Amino acid sequence: MLEWVWPYAFVALPLPWLVWRMVPSTTRQAPALVVPSLEAFTAISGQHSKSTDSRPWRLLGLLLAWLLLLAALARPQFIDEPVNLPTTGRDLMLAVDISGSMATEDMEINGDFVERLVVVKAVISNFTADRIGDRIGLVLFGSNAYLQAPLTFDVKSVNRLLVEAPVGIAGGKTAIGDAIGLAVKRLRLRPQDEKVLILLTDGANNVGEVEPKVAAELAARDNIRIYTIGVGADEMRMPGLLGRISGRMTNPSADLDEETLRAIANTTGGRYFRAKDPSTLVGIYELIDTLEPVEQETEIFRPTQTLYHWPLAASLLVWVLILLGDWIGRSRLSLGTKHA
């Protein structure tokens, strides 16, 4: 429907008439010379007077331009039907390890080995893309933890910030406790029983001011469920003289502290998952995606389209036409005078 933001602007509609009535004008005084007819003058010039005939149309044009200008000032806008925003009521914070070890190439895709973080970015991007209605935030951590994106419905921006994050930008070590503490700080102000933290790492807590188990206890007090994911293969063949075939076997996940990650999940009512390959990691996020949402008040959005530019443009067009008509009238009168 059409709505006027400032409808009181139409009160100024009679303003030009009031100005014309109140301001003294010399043109309204009695003429010094009374001419009974203009036929003699038109006969001399050989043309008929155009200004007298065009005056009513000029007055109507001025009134129309003024009315359109007031319509633009009143700010018309078209309000569409209300739309219910899809809200599931979950506040989901992602804590992703981007320390130097996430560059380990132990994730095999179609026979090729790629970095852990590359696989994690792809899986999380697909995971968040389907979570329409959830508020999603992002914490990146290494030696320090940083809030990369606050809780927001803008999933595309969260994915972009994750994809653009390079390995090791937050430091080479792993501050799991600080990452949990930062996520809890952002989630604790939200309503109860609808807060989830998914923490992904490939190492153990070896730096930071907060112990992971202490941070987990703080999360449990605020009813924040933490799902922990340990990523990394159990074994991989190191490249030798003849490539990976001749290399020795090693455990790239020797530093992964599964006991602490399991304790964090158990303390908060979550679960611990082990992702040894890309397919397992995809299955873990699909499983987490089945969490039962908590109902929240429905948010309503009414699309609004501003329309003030249309009457404003029409008013300017009418003014241009009036000025153009005056110029043409003066030009014809000038030519008639020269011929006379």
* Buried b / exposed e along 127-148 (16+ C-beta atoms within 10 A): bbeebeebbbbbbbbbbbbbbb
Q: Contact, 109 vs 41, CB < 8 A?
A: no
pLDDT score for 297: 54
Give dist(CA 75, CA 55) in Å, integer. Answer: 31
pTM for the whole structure: 0.61
Q: Contact, 85 vs 297, CB < 8 A?
A: no
Report, as an integer, the average pLDDT of 67-74. Answer: 90
Q: Which tens digits make up the pLDDT trace of 204-239?
A: 999 999 999 999 999 999 989 999 999 988 877 666
Instruction: Kindly give, in sequence order, each residue whose CB lies less than 8 Å from that of residue 280, ignoring residues fewer than 6 positions away.
Output: 274
Is beta strand 91-97 parallel, antiparallel or unpaired with respect to 135-141?
A: parallel
- The alpha carbon dihedral of 283, 284, 287, 289 has a sign of negative
pLDDT score for 214: 94
Q: Which tens digits make up the pLDDT trace of 250-277?
A: 787 888 999 999 999 999 999 999 998 8
Identify which of 272, 235, 270 has the alpha carbon closest to the alpha carbon of residue 252.
235
Architecture of domain 85-299: 3-Layer(aba) Sandwich (3.40)
Report the half-sphere exposure of 97 (CA within 13 A, side-chain side): 28
Report residue 92 as tokens. Answer: 């989901």
pLDDT score for 54: 47
Q: Is 89 left (phi over 0), alpha (psi -120 to 50) or beta?
A: left
